Structure 1
Amino acid sequence: MTHTNPTITLIMAGRRRRQGRWILVTSLLAVLACVLCCAMLMLGNTVYPVKDVIRALSGEQIKGVSFAVSTIRLPRMLAGLFAGFAFGVAGYVFQTMLRNPLANPNVIGITSGSSVAAVFCIVVLQASGAVISVASVVAGLATVILIYLLSRGKAFSIGRLILIGIGIQAMIDAAISYLMLISAEQDLPAAVRWLTGSLNGAQMDRLPPLMIAVLICTPIIIVLGKQLNLLELGEQAATSLGVDTDKSRIALIVSSVCMIAIATATTGPIAFVSFLAGPIAKRLVGIGFSNIIPAGLVGINLVLAADLIGQFATPYRFPVGIITGLLGAPYLIFLLVRMNRKGEL
């Protein structure tokens, strides 16, 4: 008769509890995302019943319903869905890989790099959506490469990377302000709306690059999930466990930047979603399993819920970026105060 080691039994029981919690929370987040997607399709100036929405999506022509659902609400919902997932996953990757909740694309300047390229295309080149997407990706990658190279020094430093990223972001924001000042008056509304982060005006023909980026880059990040978790232990620990830190970090950065740059080109830089999604997912799911998918689902829920609040909670309609900014700014202040008290700043 074999006897099981009590310690192993306890460890396995804890693992099963954590796995059960991961499955439960992830499932609930997915259900909530589906509910919000349905709400995005049903709600508007006119509220349509579920059966009419389904008929319109299946291709049946219903007066008033088909145009509103297929041309306006469906692209808006899909833009929020894929952009929210991209922002959530990318933010979680950077925060985990760099072991700092401040190290997200919004704070360290990556989103600003994509933004300045998009604003330049809008107000100077007056370019189309495809050109804006390509320029945003190239500028986002160039920004992260610059920040990464400047932060290496004799050895890679997370603190140095964050400080350099904040400095680069300030410079880029100044460039954006200059472009806004010299832009033609008729281009200002489009640029301001884009910089705020909005799902208004989402069109189906502009969504394929974002969808393709998410569908290609997400599996790559999931495959690298083990290396990502080991990078969270630190450079030396990850190296001692057989991780090629430079290659893993570059692959994760390129995949994340591609997603977030194209998402930014599609919807504008929706504030604080990449900053909030990872910590919320970690708090809900706990530790022990990868939070890549939960962070993406939290990002979806944040964007869709914020857009619904912006549309219907007040007599005025606000872009989604304003609502997420109102949610994220207090958390950023709280995080800075807590880190300062712990001596982490």
Structure 2
Amino acid sequence: MKTNRAVRSPGGLSFRLDVRATVVVALLLVLACVASVLLIGTGDFDIPAGDVLKTLVGRGNAGQEFIVNELRLPRVLVGLLVGGALGVGGALFQAISRNPLGSPDVLGLGQGATAGALIMIVLFSGSSAQVTVGALVGGLVTGLAIYLLAWKRGVHGYRLVLVGIGVSAIVTAVNGYLMTRADIVDASRAVVWMTGSLNGRDWDQVWPLLALCAVLVPLVLTNGRALRMMEMGDDISSALGVRVERVRALLMVAAVLLTAAATAAAGPVSFVALTAPQLARRLTRSPGPNLVPSLCMGAALLVGADFISQRAFGADQLPVGVVTGVLGGVYLLWLLVTERKAGRI
């Protein structure tokens, strides 16, 4: 069965459409939207899905308007943006490193952002805004350190992963030391943040993350063709006219910014950046980084996990990071069993 179709626009411009990938993206978008509507209606005061939709278009009563637009909609939007940013960031790192383990979870960016947040919480008793800035700076500094330490006449995949694992171990130790310095109040606050949660998120987290994604996601997508050629190797892609190091540096900066911003907004939500690109690739069966499917898969995974958390354990009882950690661990175990049966490990 053919999954690619040549499409010609009225102006004479032709391009190739991957039918299966398009269908997968459409289904993931529908799934994310359905989960978002159900999640908005879930809480101490349940609202039927029909009333949620009416309220979103301005036809709800005053009570529903306040609950939906001020309390629950920002939380869901943060979940969608964080999931999409982690999905794209994970896909970029895995494509650049040409390694399925080359995700922010493994490379230590989440731990770096956590270190920045812990410094603000433990040493300065910072406000929520200061903790967010600290997490963003921590992720950026960690990403820069990994890139510089992995540089040797260019950045190669396995060296990037190995350096990332080493940096992750160091930063994890630093985080443990910071926790020993905290008093009981700051330690409790830090543990809640480190779990990864969407509780209490409002429009102050939505707008900065939305602006960043609006700039970086189109930038990443415009370099998608070059990234796909880079997966064939630096020599081949250079021969095809790709400025390898320039593109790699640009996309790594974008991936670090997306991951750090997502972590700053919701805490270190585990496994989304690792599993979303791989699940997207398995569904589309398409080569290349699968950036758009990864974005949609990350968004659907995070809001779906938050919906499961609230439905199974009650509103605000279980942070979404716990659910994604369990689901990601199960997926990794299944992947290992499948790969072993296939004789690849």
TM-score, length of structure 1 as denominator length:
0.88
Q: Whole-Å Cα distance in 2 between the matches of residues 254 and 298 of structure 1? A: 22
1:294 matched to 2:283? The reply is no
Give a deviation string over 1:190-241, Cα, whole Å, max 9, x none: 2111111101111112221111111110000000101110111122222121
Give a deviation string over 1:65-100, Cα, whole Å, max 9, x none: 333222321121011010000001100111112110
Q: What is the deviation of 1:106?
A: 0.7
Q: Whole-Å Cα distance in 1 between the matches of residues 54 and 25 of structure 2? A: 29
Q: Whole-Å Cα distance in 1 between the matches of residues 67 and 146 of structure 2? A: 44
What is the one-letter code of the residue matched to 2:52?
Answer: V
Classify the secondary structure of the residue corresponding to 1:313: helix
Q: Whole-Å Cα distance in 1 between the matches of residues 303 and 161 of structure 2? A: 29
Q: Whole-Å Cα distance in 1 between the matches of residues 314 and 133 of structure 2? A: 37
What is the one-letter code of the residue matched to 1:134?
Answer: V
Q: Which aligned pairs between 1:87-106 and structure 2 lie closer than 5 A? A: 87-106=86-105
Aligned residue number for residue 221 of structure 1 = 220
Classify the secondary structure of the residue corresponding to 2:4: helix
Aligned residue number for residue 3 of structure 1 = none
1:276 matched to 2:275? The reply is yes
Aligned residue number for residue 318 of structure 1 = 318
> Do the aligned residues in 1 keep the contact of 2:89 with 2:104 (CA within 8 Å)?
yes
**Distance of aligned partners of 1:55 and 1:14 in 2 relative to their CA distance in 1, 3 Å threshold:** closer
> Do the aligned residues in 1 keep the contact of 2:43 with 2:314 (CA within 8 Å)?
no
> Do the aligned residues in 1 keep the contact of 2:91 with 2:289 (CA within 8 Å)?
no
Aligned residue number for residue 329 of structure 2 = 329
Shifted more, 88-97 versus 331-340: the winner is: 331-340
Shifted more, 275-284 versus 154-163: the winner is: 154-163
Classify the secondary structure of the residue corresponding to 1:16: strand
Q: Whole-Å Cα distance in 2 between the matches of residues 98 and 238 of structure 1? A: 15
Q: Whole-Å Cα distance in 2 between the matches of residues 101 and 242 of structure 1? A: 26
Q: Whole-Å Cα distance in 1 between the matches of residues 187 and 65 of structure 2? A: 32
Q: Whole-Å Cα distance in 2 between the matches of residues 151 and 255 of structure 1? A: 17
What is the one-letter code of the residue matched to 1:300?
Answer: A
What is the one-letter code of the residue matched to 2:38?
Answer: A
Q: What is the deviation of 1:307?
A: 0.7
Q: Whole-Å Cα distance in 1 between the matches of residues 229 and 290 of structure 2? A: 14
Aligned residue number for residue 7 of structure 1 = none
Let me know the Cα RMSD of the aligned residues: 2.5
Aligned residue number for residue 20 of structure 2 = 21
What is the one-letter code of the residue matched to 1:308?
Answer: F
Aligned residue number for residue 193 of structure 1 = 192
Q: Whole-Å Cα distance in 1 between the matches of residues 262 and 240 of structure 2? A: 34
Sequence identity (%): 37
Q: What is the deviation of 1:49?
A: 2.5
Q: Whole-Å Cα distance in 2 between the matches of residues 61 and 157 of structure 1? A: 55
Give a deviation string over 1:270-327, Cα, whole Å, max 9, x none: 1100000001111111215762111011001110111111111246931111111111
Aligned residue number for residue 116 of structure 1 = 115
Shifted more, 145-154 versus 35-44: the winner is: 145-154
What is the one-letter code of the residue matched to 1:16?
Answer: R
Classify the secondary structure of the residue corresponding to 2:98: coil
> Do the aligned residues in 2 keep the contact of 1:307 with 1:320 (CA within 8 Å)?
yes
Q: What is the deviation of 1:127?
A: 2.5
Q: Which aligned pairs between 1:1-345 and structure 2 lie closer than 5 A? A: 15-16=4-5, 19-58=18-57, 62=61, 64-153=63-152, 156-288=155-287, 291-314=290-313, 317-333=317-333, 338=339, 342=344
What is the one-letter code of the residue matched to 2:305?
Answer: A
Q: What is the deviation of 1:52?
A: 3.3
Q: Whole-Å Cα distance in 2 between the matches of residues 254 and 280 of structure 1? A: 24
Q: What is the deviation of 1:46?
A: 2.4
Aligned residues: 332
**Distance of aligned partners of 1:84 and 1:315 in 2 relative to their CA distance in 1, 3 Å threshold:** closer
Q: Whole-Å Cα distance in 2 between the matches of residues 123 and 107 of structure 1? A: 25
What is the one-letter code of the residue matched to 2:174?
Answer: A
What is the one-letter code of the residue matched to 2:240?
Answer: L
**Distance of aligned partners of 1:59 and 1:21 in 2 relative to their CA distance in 1, 3 Å threshold:** closer
Q: Whole-Å Cα distance in 1 between the matches of residues 25 and 51 of structure 2? A: 29
What is the one-letter code of the residue matched to 1:266?
Answer: A
Q: What is the deviation of 1:152?
A: 2.6
Shifted more, 287-296 versus 270-279: the winner is: 287-296
> Do the aligned residues in 2 keep the contact of 1:84 with 1:299 (CA within 8 Å)?
yes
TM-score, length of structure 2 as denominator length:
0.88
Q: Whole-Å Cα distance in 2 between the matches of residues 272 and 187 of structure 1? A: 26
